[in-house]
Structure 1
Amino acid sequence: MHPFDPLSTSEIDAAVAIVREAHDGPLKFNTVTLSEPRKAQMMAWLEDPENTPKPHRAAEVVAITPDGKLYDGIVDLTTNAIVEWNLVAGVQPLVTMEDLQFVEHMARKDESIIKQCEAIGIPREDMHKVYCDPWTIGYDERFGNSDRLQQALMYYRPDIDDCQYAYPLDFCPIFNPNTMKFIHIDVPAIRRHVNKAPPPNYHPKAIEKEGGFRKDLKPIHISQPDGVSFKIECHHIEWQNWKFHVGFNHREGIVLHNITFDDRGKRRPVFYRLSLAEMVVPYGNPEHPHQRKHAFDIGEYGAGYLTNSLSLGCDCKGTIHYMDAAFVNAAGASTVIKNAVCIHEEDAGILFKHTDFRDNSTIITRSQKLVVSHIFTAANYEYCIYWIFHQDGTIQLEIKLTGILNTYAMHPDEDTKGWGTAVYPGVNAHNHQHLFCLRIDPNIDGPNNTVFQVDAVRGPGEIGSPQNKYGNAFYAKRTKYCTPSESVAEYDASSSRTWEISNVNKLNKFSKMPIRMTKFTLLDGMSLKPRANRLMAFRPGSQHTFLHQKISQSCQSNQCLYSSGLGIFLIVTLLLM
């Protein structure tokens, strides 16, 4: 197998067996995933695979003992040996789907929760209609951070296919998975009875009952009778001069490695690694207990673990190639999510057009794009992640958000105080943000890359001066980042600020400027263009510190894969050698 390939089910099973043989006592397996080779070793092998030792296959294993101790280790799958095994303090591992389902199961039979449901109008015999979305609790001064606590956001469904977010409940239990007990329930001073409004249902069953789907929207059929333009060999993809490796892990989901571009027969490296490293969703209601709602949907739950099994027709259309994803469950058995990754082509509109006004002659070229995607569901939200390769040398990351708002019960006389919006009778949707962190490990024509800040500035001299007689001069001012601290920067809309990643040792033959990635063409530079400044709704010093700037730069390290840390308690990140 290729060193970048995700672990297979047999490799996961082997890693679990090796750990079990070496470790006395029961273990709950949280993670078994590929431990990527060291970058220097991997790049040497990629450069000359015939004469360079192939990096070993290795697995990172995260396991929990019954008393809550957390172990993180590395298993060499080539030598079948444990090379690292560490007891880790002060952090908590991801919350898995099994963890989430177990909390809901326990909630329905907990006597204290049953009594709270009865207090707001849900009879004991309707506990099968009670649901919860377990979230990590973050920090609550009453409980500290030594235990892996979860807060259960409670809901009700009159019918199994109803939308539970239209029926939020007003109390919040706290669950300790180490003791398998609910240790506390937060109950408001003013109770809010369960909502009795009719369900605003979007389920197909309800739509059919109300007259069926729209008839005025005609279908668009996509066909490729001659087949696709991309080639796939295992996890390697070639398309329109692009060549890259598609990986997939429990935390980031899709990881792209060794991205290169064929420039008239010369294979040119572009990126060593690209991934969506982290995201956070802070909520804006300061009233207890809502201040605890700040979900790290990647770092706390895992975009890979939450990935949907995709289906043809709506998730993906056209001629599709799928990739499966293998994970581990708590018992240590390997599991598979079928069709976790979708690879397909789409029409991308006009690539180039020019009309000569003299004779009205026109040159026009259509464009296609290659899309590598996955979709994951984090409680009420869906995140559709699209890595898009274009024929003009652009790589685009597109993130679509769908799903449903997170809600809380609202008293008829209650004032939302601006912290949320009444979206239905008795339903308050709290203010929140979605903030993403893209991790870029560049390899522009080789590993010696430099980051420049680029600002559009006025030319020197006042109007009427020899340097700028008519006052129309402006240029792109490039500021080199020499240290990580210098690279901590904000976006400046007034100067249309972008960033360039350049190889200063290689010059473009026409511009005589360093080879760089720009927005327009692979061969002459790719600019990073985050959106204009927006309010960051959290205090300095919080767990969200990686989001205080739009861009930051750090030195290359296998320990710096995740901007929020390997564990939870620990907007663009560039990794340079």
Structure 2
Amino acid sequence: MSILERLKQLNAHLYGLNQPPHPFDPLSNTEIEYATAIVREKHGQLKYNAVTLNEPLKKEMLAWLADEKNAPRPRRKAEVVAIDKSFALYDGIVDLVDGKVIAWEGLEGVQPMITMEDLQATEILVRKDPKVIEQCLILGILEKDMDKVYCDPWTIGYDERFGSDVRLQQALMYYRPGIDDMQYAYPLDFCPVVNTETGEIIHIDIPDVRRPVNTFGSNYNPADIEKEGGYRTDLKPLNITQPEGVSFTMDGRNISWQNFNFHIGFNGREGIVLNNITYNDKGNVRPLFYRMSLAEMVVPYGNPEHPHHRKHAFDLGEYGGGYMTNSLSLGCDCKGSIHYLDAKFSNRAGAAVTIKNAVCIHEEDAGILFKHTDYRDDSVIVTRGRKLVVSQIFTAANYEYCVYWIFHQDATIQLEIKLTGILNTYAMGLGEDTKGWGIEVHPGVNAHNHQHLFCLRLDPQIDGQKNTVFQVDATPAAAPVGSAENKYGNAFYANRTKYTKVKESISDYEGSTTRTWDICNTNKVHPYSGKFPSYKLVSREAPRLLPKEGSLVWKRAGFARHAIHVTPYADGQLNPAGRHVCQTSGEPSRGLPEWIADGSANIEDEDIVVWHTFGITHFPAPEDFPVMPAEPLSLLLRPRHFFLRNPALDVPPSYSSTPNQVASQWKGIMDRSDEASKLAFGPAGVCCSEGGPGTAESVNSAGPFVFKKLE
């Protein structure tokens, strides 16, 4: 029996199970190898760049979700990106049910992602290349020490000297005197350009003024910390326990928690993908979002000197946030009672590989959910919240990105990203002027200014598939002070601007008006407020793209020109910088700029997609080196006019005393003559000694509240 026939049998068995793969599930190892075997049978030996789920058409998927027993199950299909012996690039789709290649297209003028195998091969190559060895000798690094030379291979971005027909990388060079030294303290001043397919160095960019190899190390490993006085010794253990287990349930990759239900997908490009997010509102299951993901990001650097203008990495489109994901470990990356999900990908040969524990799912204490104390009688209610966290961490060369999708008990959805890792560095000479484009974070180490701009893709289904977006600005009343309408001049309101056409939606964040965006279902009205049920996008970290209009990165990263775009839904429109990003020039426009070019499409009461670019502008400082403390940024999706009242009222209080209870307790104390007993209580009779509010005896965040009575 051939390998293809054997895999076909395994695949048929997989689909014949009582619970075949959910249509949103990532491809299994068997499916990946079956897909590449089918392609190999038809097209011969290829090098596989990516093999991933071809997501079902939305129309078919919605029909199946509405009636899983009777509606046709969407077919399992795989997307394949492959390179042949002549280095030609192909996009294909494989039907995994029929075992057939149903689409196969040769592509020109674009290049596929750079894989981990490509990156590793480049580092080996530069150590052996005579031209690189020559440059190292000029800087004083002997040939026998070439094993101490390292590089961060990057895609080249775009360089007009080389174009897009040859698959290239640029190698950012470093030196590591000792095995435990941190190479980013020893940047080298030249940059080889590598042909990824032939394994040749085709050019080396060398500055006019050479910069010597740094002699000042900066490390963060334990041995070096011990040399500097050692670690802090005043930290006591902090334990996180859930003796009765977690409060969520998993059915395959579907999760249910605190009225939320959704599917957790994963792919090589976006990493975590959340699908079909719903909320059970007292028995009424209400749809919120069909799909949400981090769709793209760009990191433009601000040094205009050649070749640093090429440094603007699209870490998702050029490398893949899923492919670069870490294998997470208990007690370090995640704490508590953890449920893990693996990630499965294809290697260059078409064999399946697994990254264990790629996704971490756990609960955390979330602090105060709500609280009120009535000063009149000291009656009080306090409820502590908890949150569900679905996370991954991926490493893009020097930087780590910690991605947390967070669900709260008040039906808020939060996306938090923590940036850590190590600054991208460049060599500088003694007394050299950084010209404002960077900062000397350590002797001989220049860290350039840069931005981290992320694109969130939201496919909303707020109480249904037809939605509308409103821009909301806090606005003072137009009527002047002293007028009948605004005599004292204090009036202000929420100025709501409806987006009806694509061109109207192209907008930016405005801090002076605390701008937010409401994603609404205008076919329904809240019975109390008279407003449309909505989810409000609250995002205050949305810097503008700083490279100028017409610049290379401005053309390539068109999605980042504005904070908000809204488009009509279209199958296949997932990648705002285009499907294949590597070595594109930005001309012609690809991805989101192409989709919004007309601008006249209707987005009012339609099936829409909201694209939101947010992030930070990073001016490095010595405190960011040698390894950067995590810098968080966050956004919220909050229900507005969606529920009749606070949806978290049924979360058990941590402590509660009603006015009636306080009065009864106070009366009980006053009826006693024991002065010590009276002193144990505050003026309204709420216990404020040990066992009072906030202590273990009175707090129970997992079950019914405790009101401690005086015995």
Please state which band the TM-score falls in when normalised by the shorter chain.
Answer: over 0.9
**2:571 counterpart letter in structure 1:** N
Following superposition, the deviation at residue 262 of structure 1 comes to: 0.5
* Other structure's SS at 1:331 match: coil
Distance 1:93 1:528 in 2: 34
Q: 1:437 to 1:311 in 2, by over 3 A?
A: same
Equivalent runs, 1:402-551 vs 2, <5 Å: 402-517=420-535, 526-531=536-541, 533-534=543-544, 536-540=546-550, 541-551=554-564
* Other structure's SS at 1:142 match: coil
Could you tell me whether the CA contact under 8 Å between 1:454 and 1:499 is conserved in 2?
yes
- Is residue 2:262 matched to residue 1:244? yes
Output one character per residue of 1:465-484: Cα deviation in whole Å (capped at 9) or x when no partner: 22222222221121111111
Aligned twin of 1:2: 22
Aligned twin of 2:286: 268
Aligned twin of 1:20: 40
1:338 alignment partner, one of 356, 373, 384: 356
Aligned twin of 2:627: none
- Is residue 2:109 matched to residue 1:99? no
**1:576 counterpart letter in structure 2:** I
Aligned twin of 1:520: none
Distance 2:231 2:448 in 1: 31
Aligned twin of 2:181: 162
- Is residue 2:576 matched to residue 1:557? no
* Other structure's SS at 2:318 match: coil
Following superposition, the deviation at residue 506 of structure 1 comes to: 1.4
Following superposition, the deviation at residue 427 of structure 1 comes to: 1.1
- Is residue 2:66 matched to residue 1:34? no
Distance 2:331 2:323 in 1: 23
- Is residue 2:372 matched to residue 1:359? no
Distance 2:362 2:146 in 1: 44
More displaced stretch, 535-544 vs 279-288? 535-544
Distance 2:220 2:542 in 1: 34
Following superposition, the deviation at residue 167 of structure 1 comes to: 0.4
Q: 1:298 to 1:533 in 2, by over 3 A?
A: closer
When the two structures are superposed, what TM-score results if normalisation uses the length of structure 1? 0.96
Distance 2:173 2:579 in 1: 29
Following superposition, the deviation at residue 532 of structure 1 comes to: 5.5
Following superposition, the deviation at residue 193 of structure 1 comes to: 2.0
Could you tell me whether the CA contact under 8 Å between 1:492 and 1:533 is conserved in 2?
no
Distance 2:503 2:149 in 1: 50
**1:537 counterpart letter in structure 2:** P
Aligned twin of 1:118: 137
Aligned twin of 2:276: 258
Larger radius of gyration: 2
Q: 1:535 to 1:139 in 2, by over 3 A?
A: closer
**2:27 counterpart letter in structure 1:** L
Following superposition, the deviation at residue 349 of structure 1 comes to: 0.2
Aligned twin of 1:521: none
Following superposition, the deviation at residue 534 of structure 1 comes to: 4.3
Distance 2:288 2:184 in 1: 44
Following superposition, the deviation at residue 208 of structure 1 comes to: 4.3
Following superposition, the deviation at residue 210 of structure 1 comes to: 4.9
More displaced stretch, 143-152 vs 299-308? 143-152
Following superposition, the deviation at residue 234 of structure 1 comes to: 1.1
Distance 1:423 1:460 in 2: 49
Distance 2:567 2:86 in 1: 36
Could you tell me whether the CA contact under 8 Å between 1:530 and 1:550 is conserved in 2?
no
1:139 alignment partner, one of 124, 138, 158: 158
* Other structure's SS at 1:17 match: helix
More displaced stretch, 154-163 vs 11-20? 154-163
The structure with the largest strand share of the pair is 1
Following superposition, the deviation at residue 209 of structure 1 comes to: 5.2
Following superposition, the deviation at residue 132 of structure 1 comes to: 0.5
- Is residue 2:608 matched to residue 1:576? yes
- Is residue 2:145 matched to residue 1:108? no
Q: 1:538 to 1:402 in 2, by over 3 A?
A: farther
1:186 alignment partner, one of 205, 220, 231: 205
Could you tell me whether the CA contact under 8 Å between 1:92 and 1:148 is conserved in 2?
yes
Aligned twin of 1:219: 237
Q: 1:532 to 1:276 in 2, by over 3 A?
A: closer
Equivalent runs, 1:78-89 vs 2, <5 Å: 78-89=97-108
Following superposition, the deviation at residue 303 of structure 1 comes to: 0.3
Could you tell me whether the CA contact under 8 Å between 2:301 and 2:449 is conserved in 1?
yes
When the two structures are superposed, what TM-score results if normalisation uses the length of structure 2? 0.78
Could you tell me whether the CA contact under 8 Å between 1:251 and 1:305 is conserved in 2?
yes
More displaced stretch, 68-77 vs 371-380? 68-77
Could you tell me whether the CA contact under 8 Å between 2:511 and 2:540 is conserved in 1?
no
Output one character per residue of 1:168-197: Cα deviation in whole Å (capped at 9) or x when no partner: 011100000222200011111222221122
* Other structure's SS at 2:473 match: strand
Distance 1:212 1:461 in 2: 64
**2:327 counterpart letter in structure 1:** S
2:414 alignment partner, one of 389, 396, 399: 396
Distance 1:200 1:78 in 2: 55
Q: 1:251 to 1:557 in 2, by over 3 A?
A: same
Following superposition, the deviation at residue 533 of structure 1 comes to: 4.5
Distance 2:507 2:82 in 1: 38
More displaced stretch, 565-574 vs 68-77? 565-574
Aligned twin of 2:74: 55
Could you tell me whether the CA contact under 8 Å between 1:493 and 1:532 is conserved in 2?
no
Distance 1:155 1:258 in 2: 45
**1:105 counterpart letter in structure 2:** I
More displaced stretch, 250-259 vs 467-476? 467-476
* Other structure's SS at 1:300 match: helix
Following superposition, the deviation at residue 67 of structure 1 comes to: 2.1
Output one character per residue of 1:127-175: Cα deviation in whole Å (capped at 9) or x when no partner: 1111000001111121112111100000011112211000001110000
Could you tell me whether the CA contact under 8 Å between 1:175 and 1:182 is conserved in 2?
yes
**1:4 counterpart letter in structure 2:** F
* Other structure's SS at 1:146 match: coil
Q: 1:112 to 1:463 in 2, by over 3 A?
A: same
Distance 2:543 2:306 in 1: 29
Could you tell me whether the CA contact under 8 Å between 1:457 and 1:474 is conserved in 2?
yes
Following superposition, the deviation at residue 10 of structure 1 comes to: 0.4
Equivalent runs, 1:364-403 vs 2, <5 Å: 364-403=382-421
Output one character per residue of 1:55-91: Cα deviation in whole Å (capped at 9) or x when no partner: 0011100001122211001111111111111111222
More displaced stretch, 344-353 vs 172-181? 172-181
* Other structure's SS at 1:41 match: helix
* Other structure's SS at 1:554 match: strand
Distance 2:197 2:65 in 1: 44
**1:401 counterpart letter in structure 2:** L
Output one character per residue of 1:526-560: Cα deviation in whole Å (capped at 9) or x when no partner: 23324264452343452111111110011212221
* Other structure's SS at 2:523 match: strand
Following superposition, the deviation at residue 27 of structure 1 comes to: 0.8
Output one character per residue of 1:202-245: Cα deviation in whole Å (capped at 9) or x when no partner: 01243345554221122211010011001111101111101000
Output one character per residue of 1:332-354: Cα deviation in whole Å (capped at 9) or x when no partner: 11000000000000000000100
- Is residue 2:308 matched to residue 1:312? no
Q: 1:32 to 1:156 in 2, by over 3 A?
A: same
**1:215 counterpart letter in structure 2:** T
Following superposition, the deviation at residue 200 of structure 1 comes to: 1.4
Aligned twin of 1:233: 251
Could you tell me whether the CA contact under 8 Å between 1:538 and 1:544 is conserved in 2?
no
Could you tell me whether the CA contact under 8 Å between 1:460 and 1:467 is conserved in 2?
no
Aligned twin of 2:11: none
* Other structure's SS at 2:419 match: strand
Distance 1:34 1:466 in 2: 63
Aligned pair count?
Answer: 567
